Structure 1
Amino acid sequence: MPFSGFDIFIPVLAILVLLVLFAGIKTVPQGYNFTVERFGRYTRTLSPGLNLIIPFIDRIGSQMNMMEQVLDVPTQEVITKDNALVSVDGVAFYQVLNAPQAAYQVLGLQNAILNLTMTNIRSVMGSMDLDELLSNRDAINDRLMHIVDDAAQPWGIKMTRVEIKDINPPANLVDSMARQMMAERNRRAEILEAEGRKQAQILEAEGRKEAAFRDAEARERAAEAEARATQMVSEAISKGDVQALNYFVAQKYTEALAQIGSASNSKTVLMPLEASSLIGSLSGIGAIAKEVFGAPDNTSPARPARSTMRPPVVGPDQS
């Protein structure tokens, strides 16, 4: 059975409709945005999911990745403010926020971001001394991020982080810095040691001062007690109490004997008296006081002290 023209036209039409449908249906993956151009001019942006465009009139212009991306910054040499040559490399993180601006405002987005980051690294780090450069890396990162982000804002991107990975000074400069650090630490150690000796001397002087003050206070109180005791004995004697005088003299006499016995320059003490002589001396002193003050005789008569001195021994050669 021969086919008519209509029989051929229907399948061809169906195939064309299917081709048109396939050409007009666009699927955008998650994390991407597609720009649509109509006769070469941007019209709209396709979001992730299933989208329809006019076939043969509209076409996909740019497929922009909207996820955060990492851009490696190659190593470059930077001259610092104090003329030190260092090698620096880093990494930059950015994210496209506006697909049309990123697609049509700059040609070669990643290359533009890379060159912008490298230029600002040289500018920022070249305005700092080497010591400041090595100790303020966080401040450098923050400053770089704000500068690059402001410059790349017309491109529809957001700089999330700009990090300096390595700062490598020359080997001879590293050795000089190590010697400088050692000298600085030695200086600090000597200062701390001197401060310690100073504090020790101050505390020792304060201790001697406090001890002298307390010794003087003790001597003052002892003198006051002695004066008070003497005054009390004088008042008792003036009232006719001879026993107070006997006690006072016996106490001094006993203290004198104790000092003689405890002397370090003698091991043996020879005294021409015995224990009863001390009592006899006290009784004699009491009798004198009774005659002077006219006090009644309340004490027992003193016994004469016996002499304990032995006659000298005559040797064979002296007889």
Structure 2
Amino acid sequence: MQAVSIVLVVLVLLVILSCFVAVQQGTIAVTTIFGKYNRILHPGLNFKIPLIEKVFKRVSIQNRSVELEFQAITIDQANVYFKAMLLYSVWNQQEETIKNVAFKFMDERSFMQALVRTIEGSIRGFVATKRQSEVLGLRRDITEHVKEQIDVTLEDWGYHLQDLQMNDITFDDAIMKSMAQVVSSNNLKAAAENEGQALLITKTKAAEAEGNAIKIAAEAERQAAQLRGMGVALFREEVAKGMSLAAKEMQQANLDTSVILFSMWTEAIKNFAENGKGNVIFLDGSAEGMEQVMKQMMAMNKLMMPEEHK
């Protein structure tokens, strides 16, 4: 009798304990009664009908990720190999959504197979319309295309695709080598163009500098010639003034002007000889030559005499 009492107490305790169920944070429990959906249980300690109400499935509402590796073929028959990371989660915590997650698929393996195949099919269909040269620049476009194509389907399943990252996109070895050669040739072409531009700029600047130097030298030479001409003119003016003054003084003293002219001419020859730097002066020392020089000097003296003394 005592043994029966103990058994009854144990049974009562088990029944009482079975009335409570603990749901972990980040999950929602789905219960059934006689195999039919009943309700959902939120995280924490929940009461359920003992022996009748059972926890059918615990649904995680946390973010989940999966890595994908698959192959696609472009419109120009190039094989493209993808490595992607898929991030997804339950759409929301509403009862209808949780029911879809719990009952749409027989188990988690079946859901993952359907999810992966759906995403692979969407990406393959997109890549099949693109050329091999375009695929590498279409990471974002591929993601947006996949989300547009399967968001409605996943929502019907109770899930939401949060992100799809293309971690790696590769081609066959032959294509990779040809792409590397194209990049290398483009780099060499760009380097040659840059070098040509630099050489052109260098030569242009050098030509501009040479032109400016020539202009500066020409301007300096022009100014120097102008100054030399002014010096010669001033020298001639001073010589003429000196000769005119000497001629006037000799006339006032009743002296022959040819004497002063001859003296000035000899002094000039002496000055040229003393201050010259290697120049050679040829003079006609004959009597006829001296006479010719004196006649020329007398003619110059007459030209420089004032009008009233002529």
Same fold (TM over 0.5): yes
Q: Deviations over 1:142-170 (max 9, x none)?
A: 55456444541232323233223433312
Corresponding residue of 1:54: 49
Offset of residue 209 of structure 1:
1.5
> CA, structure 1 residues 160+292, in 2 after alignment: closer, same or farther (shift >3 Å)?
same
Q: Distance in 1 between matches of 2:116 and 2:34?
A: 32
Corresponding residue of 1:21: 16
CA contact (8 A) 2:244 2:304 kept: no
Q: Distance in 2 between matches of 1:181 and 1:42?
A: 61
Q: Distance in 2 between matches of 1:91 and 1:271?
A: 103
Q: Distance in 2 between matches of 1:187 and 1:198?
A: 16
Query: What residue identity is the alignment partner of 2:211?
Result: K
> CA, structure 1 residues 162+242, in 2 after alignment: closer, same or farther (shift >3 Å)?
farther
Q: As a proportion of its length, which structure holds more helix? A: 2
Q: State whether structure 2 residue 98 is matched by structure 1 residue 93.
A: no
> CA, structure 1 residues 9+182, in 2 after alignment: closer, same or farther (shift >3 Å)?
closer
Where do residues 101-116 of structure 1 align in structure 2 (5 Å cutoff)? 101-107=100-106, 108-116=110-118
Q: Distance in 1 between matches of 2:272 and 2:39?
A: 124
- Aligned partner (choices 158, 172, 190) of residue 192 of structure 2: 190
Corresponding residue of 1:124: 126
Corresponding residue of 2:40: 45
Where do residues 156-175 of structure 1 align in structure 2 (5 Å cutoff)? 156-175=158-177
Q: Distance in 2 between matches of 1:257 and 1:187?
A: 66
CA contact (8 A) 1:76 1:89 kept: yes
Where do residues 239-278 of structure 1 align in structure 2 (5 Å cutoff)? 239-240=241-242, 257-258=276-277, 260=278
- Aligned partner (choices 191, 206, 221) of residue 204 of structure 1: 206
Corresponding residue of 1:276: none
Q: Distance in 1 between matches of 2:7 and 2:83?
A: 61
**Identity level (%):** 22
> CA, structure 1 residues 62+241, in 2 after alignment: closer, same or farther (shift >3 Å)?
farther
Q: Deviations over 1:79-104 (max 9, x none)?
A: 11332122323231222244333223
Corresponding residue of 1:178: 180
Corresponding residue of 1:79: 73
> CA, structure 1 residues 196+8, in 2 after alignment: closer, same or farther (shift >3 Å)?
closer
Corresponding residue of 2:256: none
Corresponding residue of 2:257: none
Q: Distance in 2 between matches of 1:241 and 1:138?
A: 101
TM-score, normalising length from structure 1? 0.67
Where do residues 270-289 of structure 1 align in structure 2 (5 Å cutoff)? none
Query: What residue identity is the alignment partner of 2:122?
Result: N
Higher-RCO chain (CA-CA 8 Å, sequence separation at least 6) = 2
CA contact (8 A) 1:28 1:46 kept: yes
Corresponding residue of 2:222: 220
Where does structure 1 lack aligned partners over 5 or more consecutive residues?
262-269, 274-283, 296-319
Q: How many residues align?
A: 263
Offset of residue 34 of structure 1:
0.5
TM-score, normalising length from structure 2? 0.68
> CA, structure 1 residues 145+292, in 2 after alignment: closer, same or farther (shift >3 Å)?
same
> CA, structure 1 residues 151+209, in 2 after alignment: closer, same or farther (shift >3 Å)?
farther
> CA, structure 1 residues 253+14, in 2 after alignment: closer, same or farther (shift >3 Å)?
farther
Query: What residue identity is the alignment partner of 2:87?
Result: F
Offset of residue 46 of structure 1:
1.2
Secondary structure, counterpart of 2:21 in structure 1: strand
CA contact (8 A) 1:33 1:64 kept: yes
Query: What residue identity is the alignment partner of 1:100?
Result: K
Secondary structure, counterpart of 1:127 in structure 2: coil
Secondary structure, counterpart of 2:80 in structure 1: strand
> CA, structure 1 residues 185+257, in 2 after alignment: closer, same or farther (shift >3 Å)?
farther
Offset of residue 105 of structure 1:
4.2
